Amino acid sequence: MSIKDAPKDGAVFCADLVRTHDFLRYASTLFMPGPERRALLSIYAFNVEISRVHEQVSQPLPGELRLQWWTDMLAGAGHGSVEGNPVAAELLQTISKHRLPAETLSRLIEEHQFDLYNDPMPSMAALEGYLNDTASALFSLAARVVARSSEEIEHVARHAGLAQGMARVIATLGRDASRQQLFLPLQLLQQHGSSKEEVFAGKLTPNIRAAIDQLTGEAQEHLKTAFTLLADVPSEVRPIFLPLAYIRRELNLMTRSDIDPFLPKTSSRLRILWTLWRASRAKEFGG
C-alpha cells in the first residue's frame, strides 16, 4: 500500500477510533476543513494507539514490542509500505503531505514507555518533560497541518499541552490509582505530607487535596499563558487549540472543594461539543 493512496476506509477507521477514545480532540476536528481534518485524525488516532498500549497488555514486554513496532514503522516511513494497519497508513500519508518530523512522533512513543511500568512520576520536572513530548507535541504536530511551524506556535503548543496534560493527570487520578499507577508527581505529594500509598488507597485526604490544588494552579498558569500567546499565532492555527476552551472549564471545576477526583466522572459529549462550538465563535479562536 503506497503512502499516497491510503484508502478512504482508513480515514473512517481513524475517525471512529478517535471519536471513541479521545472525544475532545475528535470534536475539535469538526471545526476544520475536510482534508485537514483527515490529517489531524490520523495524528490523533496514532496517539490513541500509543497511549492505550498499557491498557491492552498485562506485562511490560508485550507493550514494549508494540511500541517498538511503531518506532520501526516511523524509521522506515520514507521507503516502505504498511499493510493491514489503517492508522499507520493514514499517518504515513500525513507525514509525507505535511512534512511532519518523525523524530517528534518517535519521542512521543518513547515517553509512553513510562506507562508500561508502575514507577511513580518522580517530580514536576519529570511530568513536564513527559507532557512536553506527548500532549504538547500533539498540539505542535496538529498545527503543522495548517501552517508552517514557528517559534510563536511552538510556544503556545508547549503551554497548551502542559495545561491539558496536568488537567488529565487530575481527571484520571482515581482510574490510575486503581491500577497502581501514579502520574501525580511523588515529590509534590511528599511536599504536602502524602504518599503514593495514600493515593492508591483511593480516598481523598487533605494532603492529597493540597497536592492536587497545587497541580491545578500550575495547569491554570500554563492555560493562561497559552491563551495570551494564542493572539500571536495565525488565525487559521487557532482552531487547533479549541480543546483549551473545555480544559478551562474542567480546571475551574477542579478548584471546587466538593469535587472528588477519585469518583468516576463521565464527560458529556454534548457539553464538549457545546463548549467548543461557543469557543469557535469567540475572538480568541479567530471566530
Which CATH number fits the domain that encloses residue 175?
Answer: 1.10.600.10
pLDDT, position 99: 96
pLDDT of residue 239: 95
CA–CA separation, 205 and 193 (whole Å)? 10
106 part of a folded domain? no
Q: For residues 224 and 205, what is the distance between their CA atoms, to the nearest angstrom?
A: 28
Q: Are residues 76 and 132 in the same domain?
A: no
What span, in angstroms and rounded, lies between the C-alpha atoms of 192 and 206? 9
Separation of alpha carbons 145 and 234, rounded Å:
13
Q: In sequence order, what are the residues at sequence separation of 6 or more whose Cβ sits closer than 8 angstroms to the Cβ of residue 113?
A: 63, 64, 67
Task: Judge contact between 152 and 234, C-beta under 8 A.
Answer: no
What integer pLDDT is reported at residue 34 of this predicted model?
85
Domain boundary among 70, 100, 130: 100
Instruction: Report the domain count for the chain.
Output: 2
Contacts of 172 (CB under 8 A, 6+ apart): 183
DSSP 166-199: HHHHHHTHHHHHHTT---S-HHHHHHTT--HHHH
What pLDDT shows up at residue 3?
A: 42
pLDDT on residue 251:
96
Residue 233 has pLDDT above 50, yes or no: yes
Same domain, 81 and 136: no
- Chosen domain end from 68, 100, 132: 100
- Residue 129 forms part of a structural domain: yes
Domain span holding position 259: 118-287
Give the tens place of pLDDT for each residue, 60-114.
999 999 999 999 999 984 444 566 799 999 999 999 999 999 999 999 999 999 9
Rounded CA separation 243/273 (Å)? 10
Give the confidence band of 287 by pLDDT, cuts at 50, 70, 90.
low
7, pLDDT greater than 70 = no
Q: pLDDT grade, residue 264 (50/70/90)?
A: confident
pLDDT surpasses 70 at 243: yes
For the segment 177-222, what is each residue's pLDDT rounded down to a tens digit? 999 999 999 999 999 999 999 999 999 999 999 999 999 999 999 9
Q: What percent of the chain has pLDDT over 90?
A: 86
What's the rounded Cα separation, in Å, for the pair 97 and 94?
A: 5
Specify whether 130 is located in the same domain as 26.
no
Is 110 domain-assigned? no
Query: What was the pLDDT predicted at 81?
Result: 58
Amino acid at 12: V
pLDDT at 79: 42
pLDDT at 1: 38
2 has a pLDDT exceeding 50: no
Instruction: Provide, rounded to the nearest whole percent, the portion of the chain with pLDDT above 70.
Output: 94
Residue 280 domain-assigned (yes or no): yes
Mean pLDDT of 104-126: 96
What pLDDT sits at residue 258?
Answer: 84
Per-residue pLDDT band at 286 (split at 50, 70, 90):
confident
Q: Which of 44, 65, 100 is the last residue of a domain?
A: 100
